[in-house]
Copies of this chain bind each other. A is one copy, B any other.
Amino acid sequence: MFDPIAKLKEYVAHASVSADPAFAKHMTGAREFVGGLLGEIGFDVEYVPTELHAVVVAKRHGQSDWPHVIIYGHYDVQPADSVELWDSPPFEAQERGGRLYGRGTADNKGPLMAHITAVARLLEKEPDLPLNLTFVIEGEEEIGSANFKSFLRQHRDKLAGADFVFLSDTGIQRADQMVITVGLRGMAAFEVEISNARTDLHSGMHGGVLHNPIQALTELCASLHTSDGRVNIPGFYDDVREVEPWEREELGKLNLSEKEYAEFLGISSFLVPPSYTPFEAIRFLPTLEINGITGGYQGEGPKTVIPTKARVKISCRLVPNQEPEKVKTLVFATIRDRVPKGLKVRITPQHDATPYLVVPPDRSNTPKDQSPVLAQAFRATDAAVEKIWGAKPFYLREGGSVGLIADLKKELNLDAILLGLCLPEDNLHAPNESFDLSVMRKGIDTIEEVLRRTARP
């Protein structure tokens, strides 16, 4: 057996930033590294090309009547900027205080390494285990899995007969309490550019006669929320589904402290729509978030210019039953309506994700037609977690988006068991990302146990 932490360090060294074409070489490196590792433990590995970054598909072939689990992961990571905010180089993983620091250690290279390690151990112990396994590891999760849907459509055969998807790309609140994520927010991302004059203008010679496009953009952005923190787009909340009572109860078990959460974030006050706690807002409400804004002179010193244009990156997190296309139609129409007459506006849609919800077995509202293998896997997870973590998992929705989960549901009618392995202090998408190695070890044990109990008895 290989050393999972040593392997994870090697994996992190491939700076697989999918958003930036400058990192293409490292994307290939990360893909071939993880494919190679799966080959070493006996899987048939294939790199399935897409329009951008190929998908790694690695299969353990068994009998067609065995349960078939797809293990999903992604080999791409977020950009590491601003690099100067990191305490150690983002792509040279460093172990400090029981954690491994580096871009992608937690999102998603460490959790995927836990799955690979668990499978390797299980098959080493039980080489004849009656379980079909397929790893599907994509390279575009951080840029919205744009080609994953067409991959699923074009390669249904490679995933035929699968019963459910098993993955760890979600979070837990505390290192001693497992959370199975049963809902995810969706996404509708886009850019807005407002422009006015044909060129940058001298603010002395021309200042005072035209609508500065930065000013106009800030006026637009300011109009997108009400002062109580709600999104100010007519119809935005129309399709938000009522929260089930068991969901609020399950969330209550976390016993989360608003004070501690505010301290963790480093904020002195929350801004949450009325009648929701911050923890509910993250899980049950949609957002409209400005991720980046740019316009005019940003270098050192002043520059007295009226810029020709300004641009903003916006992403909406969506909740069931909001549809990305419908939300974008609403939001784009509102934006076009609010840009002052005479100014030019250009809206560029970016990636989408449909929100997701799965109801575990034995709940009041569990679908009657739930797959028996999925139900068995949920029960196996419940038992494995109780054994290894000392307490049953909580079943919670989460605020993040894993668009491919909705795609797997839509294209292949597959639900997912999302075993959380990331902690809030892991700093996902931020400088000094890290992964808790004790969580990784418990994760490996849990995954091994879940898969053992999911195999044909």
Residues on A close to B: CB < 8 A?
Answer: 18-21, 78-79, 81, 85, 143-144, 171, 185, 187, 189, 196-212, 214-215, 217-225, 229, 261, 265-273, 278, 281-282, 285-287, 289-307, 310, 312-313, 315, 317, 340-342, 350-351, 398-401, 424, 427-432
Let me know if B222 and A267 touch, CB within 8 A.
Answer: no
- Interface SS, A side: loop
Let me know if A218 and B290 touch, CB within 8 A.
Answer: yes
Query: Contact check: which of B206, B215, B220 meets A282 at CB < 8 Å?
Result: B206
Let me know if B292 and A197 touch, CB within 8 A.
Answer: no
Let me know if A207 and B297 touch, CB within 8 A.
Answer: no
Let me know if A209 and B293 touch, CB within 8 A.
Answer: no
Give me 10 other A-B pairs in contact (C-beta within 8 A), A19-B300, A207-B282 excluded: A81-B297, A171-B205, A199-B266, A209-B271, A210-B271, A211-B271, A214-B292, A215-B225, A291-B307, A303-B429
Let me know if A197 and B267 touch, CB within 8 A.
Answer: yes
Across-interface contacts of A271 in B (CB, < 8 A): 209-211, 340
Q: Nearest chain-B residue to A432 (Cβ)?
A: B199
Query: Contact check: which of B171, B212, B221 meets A290 at CB < 8 Å?
Result: B212
The 9 closest A-B pairs by CB, nearest first: A198-B266, A204-B400, A292-B296, A222-B222, A19-B301, A218-B221, A269-B342, A218-B218, A209-B278
Q: Nearest chain-B residue to A290 (Cβ)?
A: B214
Across-interface contacts of A229 in B (CB, < 8 A): 208, 211
Once bound together, how far apart are the Cα atoms of A310 and B428, in whole Å? 20
Once bound together, how far apart are the Cα atoms of A212 and B271, in whole Å? 9
Count copies of this chain in the complex.
2
Across-interface contacts of A261 in B (CB, < 8 A): 209
Let me know if B219 and A222 touch, CB within 8 A.
Answer: yes
Once bound together, how far apart are the Cα atoms of A85 and B295, in whole Å? 15
Let me know if A204 and B290 touch, CB within 8 A.
Answer: no
Query: Contact check: which of B203, B211, B313 meets A303 at CB < 8 Å?
Result: B313
Let me know if B291 and A304 touch, CB within 8 A.
Answer: yes
Shortest Cβ distance from residue A97 to the other chain B in the assembled complex, whole angstroms: 18
Query: Contact check: which of B143, B223, B400 meets A302 at CB < 8 Å?
Result: B143
Across-interface contacts of A214 in B (CB, < 8 A): 221, 290-293, 312
Let me know if A297 and B302 touch, CB within 8 A.
Answer: no
